[in-house]
Structure 1
Amino acid sequence: MGDESKSTDREVNDNFSNPAVSDENARLEPPATRLYKKRWLIVCLFSSYSLCNSYQWIQYGIINNIFMRFYGVNSFTIDWMSMIYMLTYIPFIFPVSWLLDKKGLRVIALVAAALNCAGTWVKVASARPDLFPVTFLGQFICSVAQVFILGMPSRIASVWFGSDEVSTACSIGVFGNQLGIAIGFLVPPILVPNVDDMDELAGHIRIMFYITAGVATFLFVLVVIVFQDCPEIPPTHAQAAARQISPESYSYTDSILRLLRNKAFILLAISYGLNVGCFYGVGTLLNRMIIEHFPGEEVNAGRIGLTIVIAGMLGSLICGIWLDQSKTYKQTTLAVYLMSFLGLVLFAFTLNLGYLWVVFITAGTLGFFMTGYLPLGFEFAVELTYPESEGTSSGLLNCSAQVFGIIFTISQGKIMDSFNTLAGNLFLCVFLFIGTIMTGCIKADLRRQMANQQALTAASACRSDVKDHSDASLLPSTHI
């Protein structure tokens, strides 16, 4: 026992006294990684101001008929209060993605929170029937803030979280956006009842705008104080490798071109756009669908929208946790996509039965899969495009979603005007079916998972090599 102890002591001392072994150990060891507790605060703060912004996307549309009467405009004009979020995203996403790559998360977060705060205060000044252009300006400013928000969940997940947490973290980031939409469906019909007196109605609208502005201001202050660009030590080996790429060697244009040549990513971008575009269409026109079959049920229209999104939030979290455990990106994405298609078919054929409780159930089923699909698309894209910037790939996905969202919302609205709600929903079902087929054709090239696995394998091999070298240096010299 004493001899073994002396042998071990001699081995340790020789390792410290042998600079060649020490240098080789330092050279071969992979870069250090660390997880910080602050990562949860960062993602939750992001979710909070994303919530405040996405709430405003649907706050006009869900009480479409009330704002039509208050501002004296037609239904299509109020639809544009939601569609402006989609239209603004398309031209601004490329400069914002470039800024995210160059300046990092903190700058993007500050700009997003500041624009969102400014837009809410502009709306406070617009609570008069003759000030529709002012309220549209406020909505436009908030829509620009959204451009700085939508591409961040996957970037925050990659920069701050471990390889077994990224999908869950991305789901939490998307969770805030979905919760905001849910509140946007629920709260406006409660705060702004359909009263006849215009002065009373203006007072209700003003209260709603003041509450939103107060929340947005508080969150902006928190972002200024708390939000941080990245942790000092990277959370994963893949992120450590990404940090070693020098800014001078990175070209945003080349990154875009590489993504456009990635066939799997292009298929995903189109199929993602079809799915999320359908969700935007359903969300924007939900009030019209419900009022057509259930007149006077504005509050229940909001509750049905709430049901869709709450079920989707649950779906997002379950899918995120499942992905972290199983790594079955394509299989899960395809299964959820197929169920989204079946959910919309079910919703379309039960809407005109005359039973609100049935609509609540079918809407919840649709929401669980269609809204739950959102973080799956982000994470699958990051896997297919690593080591390209997460902000760039997410930006292209969202750009596709906004384009299809505008097309589907306008087309479905026109079909509903010319025919009926069922025809409008079946129109969307056709494209969801096409998207399901496209998703099945995607080749599951999981590059980020491969990079992490290679780093771990190399680290294990390096430690074995260093140990073998160290053992060899302790052998006695042999002279012939």
Structure 2
Amino acid sequence: MTAKTDNVANGIRNPSEPISSKLFLSEEDPVKHDVSGSVMDGLIMEVKDSYTVFRTRWVMLALFVLYSSSNSLQWTQFTIISDIIVRYYGVTSNVVSWTSMVYMLTYVPLIFPASWLLDKTGLRITTIIGSFGTCAGAWLKVFSVPQDLFWLGFTGQTVVAISQVFILNVPPRLAAVWFGADQVSSACSIGVFGNQLGVALGFLLPPMIVRAQGTVEEIGADLQFMFYLVAGITSVLFVFILLFFKAAPPSPPSAAADFGSSLDSNFLKSIQKLLTNRNYILLLISYGLNVGVFYAISTLLNELVLTYYPGANEDAGRIGLVIVVAGMIGSVVCGLILDKTHRFKETTLVVYAASVVGMIIFTFTLDCGYIAVVYFSSIILGFFMAGYLPVGFEFASEVTYPEPEGTTSGILNACVQIFGIVLTLLFEWMLGAAGDRWANLALCALLALGTAVTAAIRPDLRRQAAQNKA
């Protein structure tokens, strides 16, 4: 077999070789595949134009989604049952709120070394580190059930929070490395979907597992079961990632990925370019406001719901679930729209403006007395506010190309964590000082400001330009 045939058999094209109209998978199995052909069942790869996309990309994406979920489900693990944790461990509600905000606090100083590591070592190393940390933190919480060991549970939560820096900035990088130009936005939205799935489970499971009206012994047993369940899941996922997760396919899946991988990136120069990019700075502000508002509502949702619906602990968890599930659907829908239209500026602006409307509806229906109405308004809020997450990621990748996606999304998320901490503390203060109506209206005003900032971003789609030129 010739060297050229060897390359083809492995799904790799030498750039110096001419592209023939047909490609053979091997001499023994001469199945032909048009260069511009569609997916054929049973093949290991798909060939589009001169680039190859491998079916194993879906395995990599699925592993990442599950791994991301196992981390984010622990974000609200304590806060969604805040009243129970306060009573069981004898700590204040403010301390319980910090089990959520520690995710935001640890992210800011650690994202720069984590982004550098992702840029230098690739997806596999950083994913293994993050998965191990998520697993280790979950096991620390297993031993924190005694009522005098809340500090150990908080330590475990901090380890899991630190591991988050190896997750949040990965979806756009994974999508760009593994997926073709016509699937990259959808793949990014599915990657973000993993984080949202975990948040949804974090809202749903703790109120179901831990009995609000149980005795001290029953609450302790419920917490023990919940911690063992999460530790077991994270352990299995760590083994799977160690065995099966790969850094990159044998060849780039698109022209943009090919060009990006050929560049010698300088981390400090990339940061300098990003921080002098007008569009990116505006996006940092608008994205931070939107997601910061989402973090504030998610962290204090238990308090918001119980204010008007006493004893509705499980409903608080379900409302959080509804917000996130609606956002998961919104994420996928927006990703498909972006892949089909490539209208990044328009899509971002429409989704952002709709988030303002959703927040206003949520604000004026929270105290209506009918919790079913709150569920409905939560669907509207979640679809657009949580659905905005991958849209912002992809817009950032477009206006900053060819800077590394991991660095771009890392700084974006660092800004989000800062906004999240500030807005959560502000929201918590306003809830006590002025009540939920004025606190929610303040968030509405911030979202309106974010919409105006988004409108000022120019649609400089550099990645699309590179792809079209190729």
Q: For 2:51, what is the secondary structure of its paired residue?
A: coil
Displacement of 1:306 in angstroms is: 0.5
1:389 equivalent in alignment to 2:404: yes
Residue in structure 1 matching 2:222, options 181, 194, 204: 204
1:156 is aligned with what amino acid?
Answer: L
CA distance in 2, matches of 1:72, 1:420: 25
Q: Distance in 1 between matches of 2:389 and 2:410?
A: 13
- Cα deviation for residue 25 of structure 1 reads 7.3
Residue 241 of structure 1 deviates from its aligned partner by 1.1
Would the aligned equivalents of 1:31 and 1:240 in 2 still touch at CA under 8 Å?
no
Query: In the TM superposition, what is the alpha-carbon distance from 1:146 to its structure 2 partner?
Result: 0.6
Matches within 5 A, 1:287-302: 287-302=302-317
1:34 alignment partner, SS class: strand
Correspondences of 1:137-176 after superposition (within 5 Å): 137-176=155-194
Seq. identity, %: 48
Secondary structure of 1:35's match? strand
Code of the aligned partner of 1:424: A
Normalised by the length of structure 2, the TM-score is: 0.90
In the alignment, structure 1 residue 55 sits paired with structure 2 residue 70:
no
Determine the C-alpha separation between the residues in 2 that align with 1:423 and 1:31. Answer: 56
Asked if the contact 1:333/1:377 (under 8 Å) is kept, the reply is yes
The Cα of 1:268 is off from its aligned counterpart by: 0.5
In the alignment, what sits opposite 1:97? 115
1:222 maps onto 2:240 in alignment: yes
Q: CA deviation at 1:242?
A: 1.6
Task: Identify which of 446, 449, 468 aligns with 1:434.
Answer: 449
Find the counterpart in structure 2 of residue 109 from structure 1.
127
Count of residues in correspondence between the two structures: 430
Query: Does the alignment pair 1:245 with 2:252?
Result: no
- The answer for the alignment partner of 2:24 in structure 1 is none
Secondary structure in structure 1 of the residue aligned to 2:120 = helix
Secondary structure in structure 2 of the residue aligned to 1:367: helix
Tell me the equivalent position of 2:151.
Answer: 133
CA distance in structure 2 between the partners assigned to 1:196 and 1:182 by the alignment: 24
Letter in structure 1 aligned against 2:75: W
Paired with 1:421 and 1:25, the residues of 2 have a C-alpha distance of 65
Residue type at the aligned position of 1:193? R
Q: Is the Cα contact below 8 Å between 2:211 and 2:218 reproduced in 1?
A: no
1:359 aligns with 2:377: no
Q: Is the 8 A contact 2:397 2:463 kept in 1?
A: yes
1:345 corresponding residue in structure 2: 360
CA shift, 1:31, in A, is 10
Provide the C-alpha distance between the structure 2 equivalents of 1:219 and 1:316, rounded to a whole number of angstroms: 24
Partner of 1:374 in structure 2?
Answer: 389
Which sections of structure 2, spanning at least 5 residues, go unmatched?
Answer: 1-13, 21-47
Offset of 1:419 from its aligned partner?
1.7
Match of 2:210 in 1: 192
Q: State the alpha-carbon separation in 2 of the partners of residues 241 and 303 from structure 1.
A: 45
Rounded Cα–Cα distance in structure 1 between residues aligned with 2:50 and 2:295? 43
Q: CA deviation at 1:197?
A: 1.7
1:79 is matched with 97
The one-letter code of the counterpart of 1:58 is T
Report SS of the residue matched to 1:423.
helix
Q: 2: distance between equivalents of 1:208 and 1:256?
A: 41
Q: Secondary structure at 2:458's aligned position in 1?
A: coil
Contact kept in structure 2, 1:59 and 1:184, CA below 8 Å: yes
CA distance in 1, matches of 2:273, 2:17: 35
1:110/1:87 CA distance change after superposition, 3 Å: same
Q: Which has the bigger relative contact order, CA under 8 A and spacing at least 6?
A: 1
Residue-by-residue CA offset, 1:372-399 (whole Å, 9 max, x unaligned): 0000000000000000000001011101
User: Per the alignment, in what secondary structure is the counterpart of residue 230 of structure 1?
Assistant: coil
Moved over 4 A (4+): 23-32
Give the residue type in structure 2 aligned to 1:361: F
Counterpart residue type for residue 203 of structure 2: F
Does residue 342 of structure 2 align to residue 327 of structure 1?
yes
Distance, in Å, in 1 between the alignment partners of 2:181 and 2:165 is 26
C-alpha separation in 1, matches of 2:368 and 2:122: 51
Q: CA deviation at 1:243?
A: 1.9
SS at match of 1:357: helix
- The separation in 2 between residues aligned to 1:245 and 1:31, in whole angstroms, is 22
Q: Counterpart of 1:276?
A: 291
Amino acid at match of 1:177: N
The aligned amino acid for 2:364 is F
Q: Which residue of 2 aligns with 1:70?
A: 88
Corresponding residue to 2:459 among 444, 449, 458: 444
Contact 2:294 2:385 in 1 (8 A): yes
Aligned to 2:45: none
**Deviation per residue, 1:103-150 (Å, 9 max, x gap):** 000001000100000000000000111001100000000001111000
Q: Is 1:235 paired with 2:253?
A: yes
TM-score by length of 1: 0.88
Distance 2:16 2:192 in 1: 42
The answer to whether the 8 A contact 2:19-2:50 is kept is no
Following TM superposition, by how much is the alpha carbon of 1:169 offset from its aligned partner in structure 2, in angstroms?
0.2
CA distance in 1, matches of 2:51, 2:104: 38
Is 306-315 or 237-246 further displaced after alignment?
237-246
Q: Give 1:195 deviation, angstroms.
A: 2.9
Is the CA contact 1:32–1:233 (under 8 Å) kept in the aligned structure 2?
no
Query: Could you give the per-residue CA deviations for residues 408-432 of structure 1, whole angstroms, max 9, x where no partner exists?
Result: 1011001101121111111111110
Contact kept in structure 2, 1:31 and 1:237, CA below 8 Å: no
Structure 2 Cα separation of the partners of residues 99 and 32 of structure 1 = 31
Q: Deviations over 1:293-322 (max 9, x none)?
A: 000000000010000001000000000011
Do residues 336 (structure 1) and 351 (structure 2) align? yes
